Amino acid sequence: MKGGRSILRGSVQYLKGVGPRRAERFAKLDVHTGRDLLYHLPYRYEDATTVDAISELKVGQDATVIGRVVSKGVIPTRRRLRVFRAVLRDDSGHIECAWPGRPWLDRTIDKGDLLLASGPVRFYHGRQLQPREHIVLSRASDERGASGDKSAERSAPSGERGERPAAGRVFPVYPATEGLTHRQIRAVIHLNLASLLSDLGDEDPLPGGWLEDLSLPPLAEALRTLHRPPAVSRVEPCRRRLAFEELFFLQLLHARARARLRHEVRGVAFDAPRTLTRSLLEALPFELTAAQRRAWSEIEADMARPSPMNRLLQGDVGSGKTVVAALAMLKAVEAGRQAAIMAPTELLAEQHRRTFEKMLGPLGLEPELLTGAVTGKARRQALERIAAGDARLIVGTHALIQEGVDFAAPGLVVIDEQHRFGVEQRRRLRESGEAPDALVMSATPIPRSLALVLYGDLDLSIIDELPPGRRPIRTAVRGPESRDAAFVFLGDQLAQGRQAYVIYPLVEESETLEARAATVMFEQLQARFPDIAVRLLHGRLSSAEKDEAMRSFLAGDTSLLVATTVIEVGIDVPNATVMIIEDAERFGLAQLHQLRGRVGRGAEQSYCIVFHASETPSERLVAFEKKTDGFELAEEDLRIRGQGDLFGKEQHGAVLLRFAQLDRDFDLLETGRRRARAIVEGDPGLSKPAHRRFRHELDLRYARREALYHVG
């Protein structure tokens, strides 16, 4: 840009080799400014030092080759599949490469181009490479000095012009998008890297002292190396540098949200004498486990502070979160406030009501129920009691946070099964009334690292221990050949008066398909067990029908429930002892673990039988059979699937972490979190001169993303 304006801040459009059309495409990659381009880093590298000599390729091998295209063309096959083929030659020999179903490559790959291709070597009339990936390293047309097909590219030198694929040459592969290939991105970055870096100068959002402590390189050096590494081995320390930066600023964002809530919003200090909480502890027929005691004392201390609590209580199914939540609710009530617990469904709300009635009845407390099903006069009266403050303990669904519900003296809100509640509800809750304390309960254990990233603005209490005397659920992972034996076993349990579930996976492509699979099984089982009450529950049923089926199972009128995963997450049927899961590969580990948690809630030995459709069970199922601890499984899941998958598409997490890898960077995460909290503690507004650059960097990073990630 002219006039000395920063090209880092300017639109990517004005950079060399871009222009308005390409700028639009860059926008799809979330690259809008020069700075974004600088941070648009390769996700992978091809390393010419690991290139295989074509003559030495063996069938079955996964290979990377570099060669010239000596001939090419599209060949139709019998099955109407059009295959693009190209013969590559290097100094040692030649090989045919085939791209089935990708005839359009004929327009982008030319005779004479230098190609890097990697993929499996198959046998098809001789050796054939089927590239998973390929990069055009240099164009025959560029080398001849002819103009490229697009004006923007014409000015772009190929970067590799005339170069032989020398040892040690590393090719970055950039995230690309439709109409913008990684080769084009590479060329654009090549053209602009020097000026972007010189504009950056030695600017660095992190203090030099920190970098030395952690042995991480300065920003400019890290970016330069990541775009043009002299060797792949130089990449990792630079990735860690960016990972740390990312984790630190994310934790700083979290810490500020947390501080804002603590310092700027007034809450209630619950510090009345322990009348009710003590009575409950005395009345319980058991001792709290050490983990429950720890969680309770964290919550109690937090509630006693004048700032609003905002805490996540994590614990495996059956770890005894409900008692801890009840204690927290009583602490609010003994201080003269109201406490509400909000469940994701009516059924679960009713279940909570029964639990609380049993647990708290002896203390003379009766919970008030408010769900969508409470209507007419009963609803009016409930609303009146809530508004007058006569109802102290309220159990409900999100009906609790709708218009017209007026709490006389809100003190604490417990949110059960947080993962079914969106960010939006969390915010709405905080806005309602004068910042009541909030305790979010989750029965989906996630690794601590992931919790810190996703919910870093919350404080965390973990119950990582089950009450003593639980019989572990026996888990068996089996192939289809064991199906009959499993059903014999199931019949045996049913004959003893037990209840059981048979679960079918949700078929994403088609609810109809999924309903059909479950229906077929339902009919088979009905025929097999004529004396047993079997019911079917799937997504195609109306919500009234689903509710009815669930209630019938809950009441014990139905013994066998054939269901798709629409079954309630937290539902408790102590008499259910068998969980059979069909086609288990379709489930994630967390889901499988949730399902298994539906049994083993009573005195009898419980069983979980899991069927895999494939020849051998997946790594995930093997882990599931071996481990029963939800937190261990969650770590395993993170390892097997990788974090990208765990965040899911709709989660904001995927946007938040581009460089950090939670399984590898836990040390950086902890350090970043510690530093962020310490800074915000002493300077919540980040207004000290030394912290101004942090605030500036937060704006740069999250201004656009604030909408995705709520703050405070």
Nearest approach in angstroms of CB 501 to Mg ion is 17
How many chain residues touch Mg ion (CB under 5 A)? 1
Query: Which one among 169, 321, 546, 596 touches ligand ADP, defined by CB under 6 A?
Result: 321
User: Rounded to an integer, what distance in angstroms lies between the CA atom of residue 96 and that of residue 124?
Assistant: 10
Please, what sign has the CA dihedral across residues 231, 235, 238, 242? Answer: positive
Regarding 288 and contact with ligand ADP (CB under 6 A), the answer is yes
Q: Is 320 in the site for ligand ADP (CB under 6 A)?
A: yes
Q: Which of 301, 291, 373, 363 minimizes the C-alpha distance to 326?
A: 363
The answer to whether 11 and 192 have CB atoms below 8 angstroms apart is no
Residue 465 or 670: which CB sits closer to ligand ADP?
465
CA 286 → CA 11, 304, 352, 357, 695, distances in Å?
Answer: 65, 26, 19, 17, 50
Question: Does 327 engage in binding with ligand ADP (CB under 6 A)?
Answer: no
Residue 183 and residue 389: Cα distance in Å, rounded? 67
Does 315 engage in binding with ligand ADP (CB under 6 A)? yes
> For the range 542-548, what are the long-range contacts, defined as Cβ-Cβ under 8 Å and sequence gap of 24 or more?
547/346, 547/347
Binder to ligand ADP among 289, 371, 444, 591 (CB under 6 A)? 289
Measured from the CB atom, the residue of 192 and 591 that comes closer to ligand ADP is 591
Unique residue bearing structure tokens 């590494």: 229
- Minimum distance from residue 373 beta carbon to Mg ion (Å): 20
Output b/e per residue, 655-686; b: 16+ Cβ within 10 A. Answer: ebbebbbbeebbebbebbbebbbebbeeebeb
Least separation, in Å, of the C-beta of 521 and Mg ion? Answer: 28
User: 449 vs 594, which CB is nearer to Mg ion?
Assistant: 594
Instruction: Please report whether residue 344 would count as binding Mg ion according to CB under 5 A.
Output: no
Q: Is 570 in the site for Mg ion (CB under 5 A)?
A: yes
What does the alpha-carbon distance between residue 228 and residue 432 come to, in Å, rounded to a whole number? 52
DSSP 3-state assignment of 178? coil
* Minimal distance, residue 319 CB to ligand ADP, in Å: 4
Residue 319 binding: pick among ligand ADP, Mg ion, none (C-beta 5-8 Å cut-off by kind):
ligand ADP
The CA angle 270-272-274, to the nearest 5 degrees, is 110
Q: Does 67 bind Mg ion (CB under 5 A)?
A: no
Which has the closest alpha carbon to 151: 187, 192, 201?
A: 187
In the list 286, 301, 362, 485, the residue contacting ligand ADP (rule: CB under 6 A) is 286
Counting contacts by CB under 6 A, is residue 323 touching ligand ADP?
Answer: yes
Q: Is 396 in the site for Mg ion (CB under 5 A)?
A: no
Task: Rank residues 180 and 325 by Cβ distance to Mg ion and give the closer one.
Answer: 325
CB of 358 to ligand ADP, least distance (A): 9
Q: Which region, judged by CB under 5 A, interacts with Mg ion, from 276-284, 479-487, 542-550, 568-576?
A: 568-576
Question: Which span (164-172, 272-280, 281-289, 686-694) binds ligand ADP, by CB under 6 A?
Answer: 281-289
Query: Residue 190 interacts with ligand ADP (CB under 6 A)?
Result: no
Q: Is position 317 an interface residue for ligand ADP (rule: CB under 6 A)?
A: yes
Closest residue to ligand ADP using C-beta atoms: 320
Residue 286 interface partner, choices Mg ion, ligand ADP, none, CB cut-off 5-8 Å depending on type: ligand ADP
Residue 326 bridge partners (DSSP): none
- Which residue carries 């939800």 as its tokens? 630
DSSP-derived letter for residue 432 is T
Q: How far is the CB of 317 from ligand ADP (least distance, A)?
A: 5
630 binds Mg ion (CB under 5 A): no
Contact with ligand ADP (CB under 6 A): which of 103, 218, 237, 318?
Answer: 318
Regarding 602 and contact with ligand ADP (CB under 6 A), the answer is: no
Residue 315's binding partner among ligand ADP, Mg ion, none (Cβ under 5 to 8 angstroms by kind) is ligand ADP
C-alpha distances (whole Å) from 351 to each of 236, 369, 520, 550, 600 are 51, 11, 31, 12, 17
Alpha carbon distance 448, 456 (integer Å): 10
CB of 566 to ligand ADP, least distance (A): 20
Token pair in block for residue 282: 């005395």
**Chain centroid, CA 136 distance in Å:** 34
Interaction of residue 467 with ligand ADP, rule CB under 6 A: yes
- The residue among 570 and 653 lying less far from Mg ion, judged by its C-beta, is 570
- Is residue 458 at the binding interface for ligand ADP, with CB under 6 A as the rule? no
- Print the binding letters for residues 417-446 with ligand ADP: x by CB under 6 A, - otherwise: --------------------------x---
User: 317 or 341: whose CB is closer to ligand ADP?
Assistant: 317
Distance of alpha carbon 355 from alpha carbon 601, whole angstroms? 14
Question: CA 636, CA 663: separation in Å to the nearest integer?
Answer: 10
By rule CB under 6 A, what count of residues binds ligand ADP?
15
DSSP string over 249-301 = HHHHHHHHHHHIIIIIS------S--SHHHHHHHHSSSPPPHHHHHHHHHHHH
**Interface stretch with ligand ADP, choices 199-207, 311-319, 545-553, 697-705 (CB under 6 A):** 311-319
By the criterion CB under 5 A, which residues form the site for Mg ion? 570
Q: Write out the residues near ligand ADP by the rule CB under 6 A.
A: 286-289, 292, 315, 317-323, 443, 467
